[in-house]
Amino acid sequence: MIAKRIDVLSESLTIAITTLAREMKANGQDVLSFSAGEPDFGTPDVIKNAAIEAIKEGNSTYTAVPGTPEVLKAIQTKLKNENNLKYDVTDIITNVGAKHSLFNIFQVLLNSGDEVIIPAPYWVTYPEIVKYSDGVPVYIETSDESEFKITPKQLKNAITNKTKALVLNTPSNPTGSVYTKEELEGLAEVLKGTDIIVLSDEMYEKILFDGLKFTSVASISDDMFKRTITINGLSKSVAMTGWRFGYMATPMKEITAAVKKLQSQSTSNINAITQKASIPALLGEANNDIEMMRKEFEKRRDIAIEMFNAIEGLSVVKPSGAFYLYVNFKQITNDSVEFCKKLLAEKGVATVPGIGFGAEGYLRFSFATDQKSIIEGINRIEDFVKNYK
């Protein structure tokens, strides 16, 4: 009954586990969830108020497919001021979350057999959408030793005459790794002279630790600007996951034209109220809230990392951004599904098995939850590990 094309897709493991943990909690079970990939803070008031205003003003009609002129201008200003990227407003398209940006992009880019290079561990969704779009994911394996970052040499070796695109996600979900400007320059050098398109997923750009500064890969050089699609959104930076606001920007006119065409026949524009409400966030009016959240994430990271690394059999590379720890338990077992299932059943601790992110022997622990739960959760994990059978 169902079309073959859907068979290649697996359900999102991150969403599946978060939903399961939520259901267990609703049934009265003692569950601590570290599976969610969303901030535990509320959306800042300045954004909520802008939405209320937008409703009162009567923004109830369709907008242009890529977004209203005001929201596109706000994104243009943000990208120029914060990321040193000078896009035309016509280079920018808003989408129903960055997941939708990625979906649109792969749908319009890939022909059957086109390869997309994806550094592993990766966010669960990339390979799925690539496969759904008839493309072939090509993984570059990384390890704790390289802080889960790829090297120029690895990139060079992964390129074939079928390579269409490279996905870069910094700060990374699930490892929290952040590429420095110099590291990005090294990768950019390898791409010179090729027609490989770079998808730069910058969702976690605002959640950076230890005083690090963010570099957009498209700002490295004119060559990189021309070949890059910058993807971002407001889900993580201003706690707007449910509002569904993502965007993409690229000077490659063929790509923006194709995405606009596809979107005009699928979702049309994104929610008009969300567009209005996003403008203050894009223009920096929620910066105090962003800094408050960032600081709190950094505190939690420090608490969690110290506790985890004190547990025998576990190790974690200190993340420089995002709100995840990618916990290595290879000394105990490589079977992440079994490990995480037992952890949930025996201790009521929900985490995401590393297999979903393309690296076995790990789990992803989201610290987008309060400090008390983090401490209690890691204590339970310690107990679990001590008695692991």
Q: Are 71 and 94 in contact (CB under 8 A)?
A: yes
Closer Cβ to ligand PMP, 99 or 131, answer by number: 99
Does position 169 bind ligand PMP by CB under 6 A?
yes
Among the candidate windows 77-85, 93-101, 180-188, 266-274, which touches ligand PMP by CB under 6 A? 93-101
Closer Cβ to ligand GLU, 184 or 352, answer by number: 352
Q: Give the one entry of ligand GLU, ligand PMP, none that residue 15 binds, where binding means its C-beta sits below a cut-off of 5 to 8 angstroms depending on kind.
A: ligand GLU
Of residues 173, 219, 250, 351, which one binds ligand GLU by CB under 6 A?
173
CA distance 172 to 359: 14
Of residues 15, 138, 140, 252, which one binds ligand GLU by CB under 6 A?
15
**Side chain identity at residue 280, one-letter code:** P
Taking only Cα atoms into account, the Rg of the chain, rounded to an integer number of angstroms, comes to 21
Of residues 43, 50, 72, 99, which one binds ligand PMP by CB under 6 A?
99
Total site size for ligand PMP, rule CB under 6 A = 13
CA distance 31 to 388: 19
Segment 98-127, which members bind ligand GLU (CB under 6 A)? 99, 123-125
Three-class SS of residue 360?
coil
Taking the complex as a whole, the smallest distance from the CB of residue 203 to ligand GLU amounts, in Å, to 8
Three-class SS of residue 283?
coil
Segment 239-258, which members bind ligand PMP (CB under 6 A)? 241, 246
Q: Are 228 and 84 in contact (CB under 8 A)?
A: no
Does position 12 bind ligand GLU by CB under 6 A?
yes
Closer Cβ to ligand PMP, 79 or 307, answer by number: 79
Residue nearest to ligand GLU (CB): 37
Say which residue the tokens 């490295």 belong to: 220
Closer Cβ to ligand PMP, 123 or 225, answer by number: 123
Closer Cβ to ligand GLU, 38 or 82, answer by number: 38
Q: Which pair of tokens denotes residue 199?
A: 């998808």
Of residues 14, 133, 250, 320, which one binds ligand GLU by CB under 6 A?
14
Among the candidate windows 12-20, 47-55, 159-167, 214-222, which touches ligand GLU by CB under 6 A? 12-20
Q: In angstroms, what CA-CA distances link 294 with 5, 163, 192, 301, 308?
A: 40, 36, 35, 10, 21
Alpha helix segments (H runs only) across the chain: 13-26, 45-57, 69-83, 98-109, 125-132, 152-158, 181-191, 222-227, 253-264, 272-282, 287-309, 336-347, 371-386
Parallel, antiparallel or unpaired: strands 352-353 and 362-366: antiparallel
Segment 183-242, which members bind ligand GLU (CB under 6 A)? none
Taking the complex as a whole, the smallest distance from the CB of residue 27 to ligand PMP amounts, in Å, to 26
Say which residue the tokens 């569950």 belong to: 31
Three-class SS of residue 140?
strand
Q: Give the one entry of ligand GLU, ligand PMP, none that residue 98 binds, where binding means its C-beta sits below a cut-off of 5 to 8 angstroms depending on kind.
A: ligand PMP
The residues near 101 (Cβ < 8 Å, ≥ 6 apart) are 93, 95, 231, 233, 246, 247, 248
Segment 38-97, which members bind ligand GLU (CB under 6 A)? 38
Among the candidate windows 5-13, 79-87, 96-104, 191-199, which touches ligand PMP by CB under 6 A? 96-104
Does position 351 bind ligand GLU by CB under 6 A?
no
Q: Which burial class, exposed, middle or buried, applies to 40 when counting CB atoms under 10 A from its CB (0-12, 13-18, 19+)?
A: middle
Q: In angstroms, what CA-CA distances link 50 with 40, 64, 263, 272?
A: 21, 20, 26, 12
Closer Cβ to ligand PMP, 250 or 311, answer by number: 250
Among the candidate windows 7-15, 137-145, 161-169, 370-378, which touches ligand GLU by CB under 6 A? 7-15
Of residues 47, 74, 85, 98, which one binds ligand PMP by CB under 6 A?
98
Please report, as ranges, the residues that interact with ligand PMP according to CB under 6 A. Answer: 37, 97-99, 123, 169, 173, 201, 203, 233, 235, 241, 246
Please report, as ranges, the residues that interact with ligand GLU according to CB under 6 A. Answer: 12, 14-15, 37-38, 99, 123-125, 173
